[in-house]
Chains A and B, each alone.
Chain A
């Protein structure tokens, strides 16, 4: 065991810190509004220009070939200095790992560099009005078009984060009408400006137009935009969910940074003799550290060749519940000012409340933990 960072990791941290401290923009508007999204894209392109957009990717696709540990270090530094939300996250963190694993060389070369440069902006088309937690109940169809050399997609996707501002959608469609549930699905990559596509943004809890529903009416997709094998989309998609629930989407650096801000807020706002608030802040900080060290343990296992499996469900429940707890505590520290807080805590609270819902509800995650980690009977 060696819990120190290697000299080259420390050097990488110092390099990230210096650049981020000099360049991270302050006070950006929400990236979940049309105008704000544009502002965030400028930041994403600045990150790309300095090769910080996708540090863990190979250099030929715009990254630095950073190790998992270096990526975690980058995330710690990014959120430590208060770096903005990543409006490109659904592409770079959810789709990209799947493209690296299942994509053809042609797909990698075509998709990844433009994704890294924030030229193509990807949103996720999985959920449907009648397929949420029961994702395998997807009804949107893909019908074979042999003459055109591709597929024709029809149906409706919803809860598509930032769909109204993105350029492309990755999604699951039922390609074999005879097959049921997890079988007979195919993973497609679709431009949102393709004929037959209609995208309608709508408001989230906080009022921002961060959601969209996407209607597909006989949209043609060529065979070259199928990711992985036809009818094998479920298995392809599950590789992405592991990334989403696990450490890539919400790395520990976000939560250690929030915990540090909470300590500051307590210093400014709390009666120093209030031991209950004091204990709650220390608990939040300790939990964030626990996530950090659990992640280092996990990364060590992965670097020894182990696959991340159902354990990622534990991670997802832990960080999402922790995020809600930390924001509740912040609002308590703000007292009556919480109502009109514009320092980010009230906004952050509303976003934190989505954590136990998105990426598979925490109820579904607990089922997964019980069945696949503990081995309890499914039925």
Chain B
């Protein structure tokens, strides 16, 4: 038992973190809410140059889990999990996707609406019937996501009919689990971010002549959020290991991770808002960018109830 990441895995995470800290401040996330495509101008290319977009061709789910966690921390408005974790490993010709020349998104049964379909070049679509690659498709726009950067749609194939079959039912199930795992990791990152923002705010904001973070009522809210993070995170890392090792119970481990991470993120969003007071409720303040991403991702790729139900089928 050695439950720790390698220096290489941590170094990769740190490199991505440095890039995102520079290139994905909240202003970039906010811009994606109102711009044409809901994405960033340059980050996709930068991630391609760094090797993140094609990383799954060489690296394992475990190698990537911390990268997805960082993408959550910065609320990166790009289809990182869909493209990197799910689609690229399945593409017959992944070169252009790996560099970022094209964007692949996913339309897997169970993930919910298709995010970023409006700017996709290819779609990996799947269900228990199998997985296919759609190069000609139509996107029907759905009502707006609570997270303004996530442009939602439904995808259907068009033109010459159905897509190219690229996988069977087992491939679909593994693809879905990779999406759920990557999303769970993003929720861990979002939880950390909301906690960091709130700790900074309540340490700085004075009322009654003292920082509001010195009041026990505020401390206890944030302690509860920190506890939820503490006990969700190991489940996510453990699920990543199980996926990498092709553990027969990996799906159950992914479901435990997604349920716990979604619950932790939702709890932390509520605590963060309450501890910010009115400022957190204002649209100009950045907290809501992270809260809304958390709400969206906690619901996507199977919400906590759905995943617990899947755990139940294994243990009850």
- Whether B315 contacts A377 by the Cβ 8 Å rule is no
Whether B308 is near chain A, meaning CB under 8 Å from some CB there, is yes
- Whether A282 contacts B311 by the Cβ 8 Å rule is yes
Chain A residues, Cβ within 8 Å of B305:
279
Chain B residues, Cβ within 8 Å of A317:
223, 227
- Whether A366 contacts B234 by the Cβ 8 Å rule is no
Chain A residues, Cβ within 8 Å of B62:
1
- Whether B226 contacts A314 by the Cβ 8 Å rule is yes
| Most A Cβ at <10 Å: residue of B230, B233, B256, B260 | B230
The stretch that binds B, out of A118-126, A162-170, A209-217, A293-301, is A293-301
Q: Contact partner of B315 among A3, A285, A301, CB < 8 A? A: A285
Q: How far is the CA of A266 from the CA of B195 in the complex (A)?
A: 36
In the assembled complex, 25 residue pairs joining A and B whose CB atoms fall closer than 8 Å, in A order, are A1-B4, A1-B5, A3-B241, A267-B316, A281-B312, A281-B316, A282-B308, A282-B315, A286-B311, A289-B256, A290-B232, A297-B3, A300-B3, A318-B227, A318-B230, A365-B223, A367-B219, A370-B219, A370-B226, A374-B195, A374-B226, A376-B203, A377-B210, A377-B211, A379-B210
Q: Mark B274-316, 1 if CB is under 8 A from A, else 0.
A: 0000000000000000000000000000000100110110011
Q: How far is the CA of A311 from the CA of B223 in the complex (A)?
A: 11
Chain B residues, Cβ within 8 Å of A147:
none
A301 in contact with B211 given A1-B241, A266-B316, A286-B256 (CB within 8 Å): no
Q: Report the count of interface residues on A (CB-CB < 8 A).
A: 49
Q: How far is the CA of A212 from the CA of B96 in the complex (A)?
A: 74
Top 9 closest pairs, chain A to chain B, by CB? A370-B219, A366-B223, A293-B234, A369-B223, A290-B231, A376-B213, A300-B3, A282-B308, A377-B214
Closest to B213 in A: A376
Q: How far is the CA of A286 from the CA of B220 in the complex (A)?
A: 23
Q: Mark B238-259, 1 if CB is under 8 A from A, else 0.
A: 1001100100000000001001
Chain B residues, Cβ within 8 Å of A370:
213, 218-220, 222-223, 226
- Whether A374 contacts B199 by the Cβ 8 Å rule is yes
Q: How far is the CA of A176 from the CA of B209 in the complex (A)?
A: 36
- Whether A371 contacts B227 by the Cβ 8 Å rule is no
A69 in contact with B219 given A314-B226, A374-B195, A379-B214 (CB within 8 Å): no
- Whether A296 contacts B211 by the Cβ 8 Å rule is no
Closest to B313 in A: A282
Whether B1 is near chain A, meaning CB under 8 Å from some CB there, is yes
Q: Contact partner of A369 among B6, B227, B315, CB < 8 A? A: B227
Whether A28 is near chain B, meaning CB under 8 Å from some CB there, is no
Q: How far is the CA of A285 from the CA of B259 in the complex (A)?
A: 12
Q: Mark A339-371, 1 if CB is under 8 A from B, else 0.
A: 000000000000000000000000101110111
- Chain B positions within 8 Å of A, measured between CB atoms, are 1-6, 62, 195, 199, 202-203, 210-211, 213-214, 216, 218-220, 222-224, 226-227, 230-235, 237-238, 241-242, 245, 256, 259-260, 305, 308-309, 311-312, 315-316
Whether A304 is near chain B, meaning CB under 8 Å from some CB there, is yes
Question: Besides the contacts A2-B1, A376-B202, what 19 more A-B pairs have beta carbons closer than 8 Å?
Answer: A1-B4, A1-B62, A3-B245, A263-B316, A278-B316, A279-B308, A286-B235, A289-B235, A293-B3, A294-B233, A318-B231, A369-B219, A369-B223, A370-B222, A370-B223, A375-B199, A376-B213, A376-B214, A378-B214
Whether A238 is near chain B, meaning CB under 8 Å from some CB there, is no
Whether A6 is near chain B, meaning CB under 8 Å from some CB there, is yes
Whether A57 is near chain B, meaning CB under 8 Å from some CB there, is no
The minimal Cβ–Cβ distance linking B201 to chain A, given in whole angstroms, is 11
Closest to A301 in B: B4
Chain B residues, Cβ within 8 Å of A279:
305, 308-309, 312
- Whether A297 contacts B227 by the Cβ 8 Å rule is no
Chain B residues, Cβ within 8 Å of A286:
235, 256, 259-260, 308, 311
Q: How far is the CA of A366 from the CA of B238 in the complex (A)?
A: 26
Q: How far is the CA of A282 from the CA of B216 in the complex (A)?
A: 32
Q: How far is the CA of A196 from the CA of B6 in the complex (A)?
A: 59
Chain A residues, Cβ within 8 Å of B5:
1
Whether A291 is near chain B, meaning CB under 8 Å from some CB there, is yes
Whether A200 is near chain B, meaning CB under 8 Å from some CB there, is no
Q: Mark A308-331, 1 if CB is under 8 A from B, else 0.
A: 000100100110000000000000
Whether A223 is near chain B, meaning CB under 8 Å from some CB there, is no
Whether A4 is near chain B, meaning CB under 8 Å from some CB there, is yes
Whether A205 is near chain B, meaning CB under 8 Å from some CB there, is no
Chain B residues, Cβ within 8 Å of A275:
309
Chain A residues, Cβ within 8 Å of B234:
290, 293-294, 296-297
Whether A287 is near chain B, meaning CB under 8 Å from some CB there, is yes
The minimal Cβ–Cβ distance linking B225 to chain A, given in whole angstroms, is 9
Q: How far is the CA of A293 from the CA of B230 in the complex (A)?
A: 10
Q: How far is the CA of A365 from the CA of B216 in the complex (A)?
A: 11
